[in-house]
Amino acid sequence: MGRYFIRRLWQTIPTLAGVILLVFILFNLFGGDPAAILAGKIVSPERIATIREQLGLNEPLWVQLWIFVKQVMTFDFGDSWSTGESVADIISQKAPVSLTIMVQVWLLDAIVSISLAVAVAYRRGSLTDRAVMGICTAAMSISLLLYVVIGQYVLGYTLDLFPVLGWSDSLWTNLTTYAPLPVFLLLLVSIAPSLRLYRTFIVEETTHDYVRTARAKGASENRVMFVHVLRNALIPIMTNMAMQLPGLFVGSFVIESVFSIPGLGKEIVAAVLRSDFPVIKAITIYLAILTMLVNLLVDLLYSWLDPRVQLK
């Protein structure tokens, strides 16, 4: 296990190097001239030249790339071009806000989707199974924006159950007052595709020989489904959960903007609008690192879920 963990960590280095190179190329070749962007509408060649010198844009590309690599290695991306605030401070302040929403959605989506998937797989082919799959198909056809508009109007304005805007400095107040409505709306979008996919994984496991053997030995249906089938189906389920993380943060862009939640999603939307490249690059790199670490954790969990899986 230890040797596998170390080897996987080494394998993340070329992946991260590829991400760094791709981000550098995109921002330097297709992102426009940062000096012209920072200079504003009224510009002069002297002002643009001064800004380029301050940002190090007069240096050769390989020097600029090395500066970017050092920023990634030290987690110091400098200051925001728009506010002058340290990028590290921005992320340290905004990340906990986004995680307050995203972690809840990620965990609740897994719990609800897996539970319902086991239930409908147990009754596969029945009217209940077909009805749930039909509801999921319909739910997947509806945009998140429509859920947000209807949710704010019905649950916020009409029934006055939740505030439709705002955030506070109290974690408990956020969890009990401001977060429930955004979390609920994101779950409406995420549960349907997860449920359909997890049901497929579980139904496929029920067709294997070990399930028929367990039933022939007299094991109860609950033991067959939860001990044998679900444990084997958790391997692809965990893989899908790891792949969901970047998508959750993409969803947070919309939710945080609409509900005025001061998280990373709202921050990166504002950074894109004002061409604040240091903030955008930092969040992009951090999300890439988070995705790689979660994938590593999932790979380590494989051997615990299924002893037949050997980490070599």
Percent of the chain at pLDDT exceeding 90: 10
CA angle 281, 283, 284 (to 5 degrees): 60
Confidence at residue 309, expressed as pLDDT on a 0 to 100 scale: 59
Q: How far apart are CA 278 and CA 47, in angstroms?
A: 20
Confidence at residue 40, expressed as pLDDT on a 0 to 100 scale: 63
pLDDT tens-digit map of 54-67: 777 777 888 888 88
pTM for this predicted structure: 0.81
Other Cβ atoms within 10 Å of 279 Cβ, number: 28
* Positive/negative CA dihedral, 250, 256, 257, 262: negative
Look up residue 226 and give its two tokens: 């939860």
Confidence at residue 114, expressed as pLDDT on a 0 to 100 scale: 92
Look up residue 193 and give its two tokens: 């595709």
Regions in the chain scoring below 50 on pLDDT: none
| Residue 164, H or E segment | none
According to CATH, where is 1.10.3720.10 located in the chain? 98-305
Confidence at residue 298, expressed as pLDDT on a 0 to 100 scale: 79
Confidence at residue 270, expressed as pLDDT on a 0 to 100 scale: 82
Q: Within 13 Å of residue 250, how many CA atoms lie on the same side as its CB?
A: 8
Q: How far apart are CA 231 and CA 306, in angstroms?
A: 8
Confidence at residue 39, expressed as pLDDT on a 0 to 100 scale: 65
Q: How far apart are CA 255 and CA 266, in angstroms?
A: 8
Give, as one character, the DSSP assignment of residue 32: -
Confidence at residue 108, expressed as pLDDT on a 0 to 100 scale: 93
Say which residues have a Cβ less than 8 Å from residue 90's Cβ, sequence separation at least 6.
80, 83, 267, 279
Topology of the domain covering 98-305: MetI-like fold (1.10.3720)
From residue 271, alpha-carbon distances to 99, 146, 166, 283 in Å are 19, 25, 20, 10
Say which residues have a Cβ less than 8 Å from residue 4's Cβ, sequence separation at least 6.
300, 311, 312
